[in-house]
Amino acid sequence: MDTEIKNAVQAADKDAPYDKEAKRLLGNKHILAHVLIALISEFKGMSAREAEKYIEGDVYIDAIPVEPGLTNKAAGSRKSGDRIVGLNTEDGEINEGTIQYDIIFYVRMKDGTAQIIVNIEMQKDKPSEYKLLHRAIFYVCRLVSSQKEREFANSNFDDIKRVYNIWICPYMKEDYIKYIHLASEDMLGRHKLEGTLDLLNIMFVGLKDELAGKDERYRLHRLLGTLLSETLKPKEKLAIMKEEYEIPIEQNIRKEVDNMYTLSQHIEEQAKTEEKVRIIMKMYQKKYPLEEIAELVGKTIEEVRTVVESKSPLLS
């Protein structure tokens, strides 16, 4: 096993390497094109190959800080006069520990002039300390407010770019898509306001454990479920991507799929090992003989003794 992967799996957050590989795979432009087609109305009915042409420049993965004052801070950036142009990566050492957008990129619209900013976030587990919708609202507001002096200067608010904040949420009870956006309600009179309400867009894409079938309504869910599956083997994933979605299986995609599978297997093995250690210590604390513990967990007496001694300072 590659040493770098092994060290990553043994890190404090054992899921972090897997999540990073998943972001890299999801951040591939061939795959992002399918996300655009499924979720943004202007791209519906377009082929993935055509939609991909509208993704401009680099796709930033874990590179742009969310925090106020950092998102649009210049760091070796391209400028137009005194204004920062485009998203800018930040000094990694200065911003270490800050929250960063998972995936963020620009998309040129079909009219050739308008441009939007798309942010995709992967939410593996339901947060317990806050409501995910509240975090999404903060993110989408930051995507707009951070444009000042980067995408528009002074009071040129008509230059604000439309933003999409998309959350991928696996392990849901059902496959779903939830769209949250601004709406206008006439409480008195029918005055027409100038401007557009489509600047802020939040979308949640929920994926259930079971891989979606070949139903056109769940085409995006089947693709995302395939990419993020921890049980499908690389050969199965690549076959679905190539045959059903016509995604070119380039070397980097093949490598990322292989890495995800390798990491998921070792994370699973690590979890099994940790469970056995818990069982060993629990039985030892209840005074079970080492021979009986070894037989139950399928280990040798010496292996059980090593676990007990490493966990119990009284025996060292």
Q: Are 29 and 55 in contact (CB under 8 A)?
A: yes
Is 305 within the bounds of a domain? no
**234-245 vs 251-285: helix axis angle to the nearest 10?**
140
- Please, which residues bridge with residue 264 across strands? none
Q: Predicted confidence band at 312 (pLDDT cuts at 50, 70, 90)?
A: low
What's the token pair of residue 278? Answer: 């818990």
Task: Look at residue 59 and tell me if it is in a domain.
Answer: yes
pLDDT at 133: 95
Sign of CA dihedral 85, 89, 95, 100: positive
Residue 300 covered by a domain: no
Q: Is the pLDDT of residue 83 over 50?
A: no
pTM: 0.75
Give the residue, 99 or 106, on which the prediction is more confident.
106
Give a yes or no: residue 267 inside a domain.
no
Q: Quick one: pLDDT at residue 75?
A: 37
* CA-based nearest residue to 120, from 17, 212, 231, 40: 40
For residues 140 and 114, the model is more confident at: 140
pLDDT 10s digits, 241-279: 999 999 998 877 888 887 776 755 655 566 677 777 888
Mean pLDDT for the chain overall: 82
Residue 96 has pLDDT above 70, yes or no: no
How many domains would you assign to the chain? 1
| pLDDT band at residue 3 under the 50/70/90 scheme | very low
Q: For residue 308, what pLDDT is reported?
A: 83
Identify which of 218, 206, 116, 222 has the alpha carbon closest to the alpha carbon of residue 167. 206
Q: What is d(CA 223, CA 242) in angstroms, rounded to the nearest whole number?
A: 11
In a domain, 134, yes or no: yes
Question: 12 pLDDT band (50/70/90 cuts)?
Answer: very low
Nearest to 265, CA basis, from 21, 12, 42: 21
46 compared with 1, residue with greater pLDDT: 46
Look at residue 22 and tell me whether its pLDDT is greater than 90: no
Answer whether residue 301 is part of any domain.
no
Q: Residue 226: which domain range?
A: 3-183+196-249
Q: What is the pLDDT of residue 269?
A: 65
CB neighbours of residue 72 within 10 Å: 22
Evaluate whether residue 139 is within a structural domain.
yes
Q: Which residues pair with 169 in a beta bridge?
A: 206
Range with the poorest average pLDDT among 59-63, 123-127, 220-224: 123-127
User: Does a structural domain hold residue 158?
Assistant: yes
Residue 167, SS3 per DSSP: strand
